[in-house]
Amino acid sequence: MHKSKLAGLVIDCQASHVRDAANFWHGVLGGELDIDEDGKYAAISDQGDIQVLVQAVDHPARVHLDIASDDKDAEVTRLEGLGAKKVVTIKSWIVMEAPTGHRFCVVNPQTDNFDQTANRWE
């Protein structure tokens, strides 16, 4: 048995530094803005149970979902059974592609209430 749930919304912005894009989305959403020292990732806090990230990427702009799991390998296997494909592992997350062509990531749990709110899979 493992658990998973929607963890976050990631706004991919085609840019070399995330600052301008993060400032825009921070203006839209409010909360607190935290940009990492490399200028690649920014977190916008105070968005409820969903983490909102802005990241600088090389590919065209898009939005993708992060799915948190307490067993990423089991979750990847479950998602592959639904038709998804593993694309690549980057740092601690696994990039997947849905049968519809949409990219999403499988990540570690992001909230303190993960165990109480996640879906259970056998």
Q: Which structural domain range is residue 12 located in?
A: 2-121
Residue 114 pLDDT: 95
Q: Is the pTM of this model over 0.85?
A: yes
Checking if the pLDDT of 8 tops 90, the result is yes
Could you give the CA distance from residue 118 to residue 121 in angstroms, rounded to a whole number? 10
What local confidence, expressed as pLDDT, does residue 48 receive?
Answer: 86
CATH number assigned to the domain comprising residue 51: 3.10.180.10
How many independent structural domains does the chain possess? Answer: 1
Helix H or strand E segment including 25: helix 19-29
Q: Which residues contact 67 (CB under 8 A, 6 or more apart)?
A: 4, 5, 6, 7, 75, 79, 104, 105, 106, 107
Residue-wise pLDDT tens digits, 35-81: 999 999 999 999 888 999 999 999 999 999 999 999 999 999 999 99
